[in-house]
């Protein structure tokens, strides 16, 4: 399959709320001789992927299974020891991350839809467990965070996870389809990005840790449904993207105590075409660094460091579930300088992984896992 580059038009806005003129997206001469091969099929919704030091690739199947690719083959046996997972709408088994010191402690972290709690329905939970890859099992499970209360709604679980260079774990929980209740209320879970120590304790310098009635794990708020988080290794900035409604998908730099505006400000509208706000800016709320109108339904986000793809190297890749392509973002400091549509027709991309072998792996709904191979 050949790679085609299409010039896009985008509006880039800095986090300082300084509006820039629209930028024409320039092609960068990306080598078209990149083939796309199928690594494993039989996975319906590959929500996330991680690779172990021993080379196995783990895939979270949203319906509640943890799968393994070993020596290039998808094993029929699933990893056991997962908690009860509520496979419901957009909920199920979500993101996966290895502890930075995985070789020593064998800890794996994952988010999932959990029914735990007094109310019916479910909400996003974060769990740590010890991975025993030799017998494909999880043990010593420890629930680190469970959003409350549960909701019967089946959308906006968020669930993306990232570790920063200081060992803090960040994870997202979407607004759970309750935009007028959760995102702007610091006493409620939902529509937030959270920060914890690796054992689940709340850092003492979290912005709301000493305020009565507030959720002390909150790091930032005013989000809709963040499903991509990645760290720029050059600047240590935490970049996130989130789904808007009809238009208004956003790319943001996640900063402490910042309100990102949902649903008070937005570049999107309701799915039926009506407005839910007349405001796109507010002096007390951050502007997105980049937004997409129409929505691309972003999912998955990685920084490309591999020298196998010289013209992707040092840039970010984002999946588009709506348009079946990837988006290549050129980022410098706190600005998105350009974006390019690449790998058109690759499929409904759900997850991305740069493997230890330097190749990029793409999880595609209804297909499985594909690999990008420079020829």
Known catalytic residues? 156
In angstroms, the CA 182 to CA 178 distance is 6
**Local structure of residue 287 (DSSP, 8 states):** P
Q: Hey, which residues does 137 pair with through a beta bridge?
A: 80, 132
Closest CA to 17 of 287, 271, 262: 287
Distance of CA 299 to the CA centre of its chain: 6
For residue 107, the Cα-to-chain-centroid distance in whole angstroms is: 20
d(CA 104, CA 98): 11
CB 93 within 8 A of CB 82: yes
For residue 102, the SS3 value is helix
First-residue to last-residue Cα distance in the chain? 11
Rg (CA), the chain: 20
> What H or E segment, with its residue span, contains residue 142?
strand 137-146
> Nearest-5° angle of CA 18, CA 299, CA 281?
25
Question: How far apart are the C-alpha atoms of 288 and 251, rounded to whole Å?
Answer: 6
Identify whether the C-beta of residue 131 lies closer than 8 Å to the C-beta of residue 82. no
């Amino acid at each position: 399959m050949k790679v085609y580059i299409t010039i896009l038009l985008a509006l880039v806005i800095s986090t300082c709320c300084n509006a820039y003129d629209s930028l024409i997206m320039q092609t960068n001469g990306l080598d078209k001789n990149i083939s796309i091969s199928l690594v494993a099929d039989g996975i319906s919704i590959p929500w996330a992927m991680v690779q172990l030091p021993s080379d196995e690739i783990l895939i979270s199947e949203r319906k509640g299974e943890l799968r393994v690719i070993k020596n290039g083959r998808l094993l029929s046996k699933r990893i056991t020891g997962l908690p009860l997972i509520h496979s419901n709408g957009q909920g199920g088994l979500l993101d996966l991350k290895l502890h930075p010191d995985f070789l020593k402690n064998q800890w794996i972290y994952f988010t999932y839809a959990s029914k735990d709690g007094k109310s019916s329905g479910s909400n996003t939970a974060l769990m740590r467990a010890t991975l025993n890859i030799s017998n494909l099992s999880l043990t010593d499970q420890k629930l680190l965070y469970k959003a409350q209360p549960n909701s019967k709604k089946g959308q906006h679980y968020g669930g993306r996870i990232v570790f920063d260079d200081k060992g803090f774990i960040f994870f997202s929980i979407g607004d759970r389809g309750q935009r007028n209740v959760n995102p702007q209320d610091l006493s409620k879970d939902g529509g937030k990005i959270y920060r914890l120590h690796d054992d689940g304790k709340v850092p003492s310098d979290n912005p709301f840790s000493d305020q009565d009635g507030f959720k002390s794990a909150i790091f930032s708020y005013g989000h809709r449904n963040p499903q991509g988080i990645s760290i720029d290794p050059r600047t240590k900035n935490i970049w996130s993207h989130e789904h808007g409604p009809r238009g208004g998908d956003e790319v943001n730099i996640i900063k402490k105590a910042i309100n990102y505006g949902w649903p008070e400000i937005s570049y999107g509208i309701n799915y039926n075409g009506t407005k839910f706000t007349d405001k796109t800016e507010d002096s007390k709320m951050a502007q997105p660094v980049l937004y997409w109108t129409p929505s691309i339904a972003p999912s998955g986000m990685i920084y490309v460091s591999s020298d196998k793809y010289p013209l992707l190297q040092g840039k970010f890749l984002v999946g588009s579930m709506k348009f079946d392509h990837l988006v290549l973002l050129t980022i410098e400091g706190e600005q998105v300088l350009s974006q390019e549509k690449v790998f058109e027709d690759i499929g409904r991309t759900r997850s991305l992984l740069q493997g230890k072998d330097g190749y990029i792996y793409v999880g595609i709904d209804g297909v499985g896992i594909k690999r990008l191979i420079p020829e």
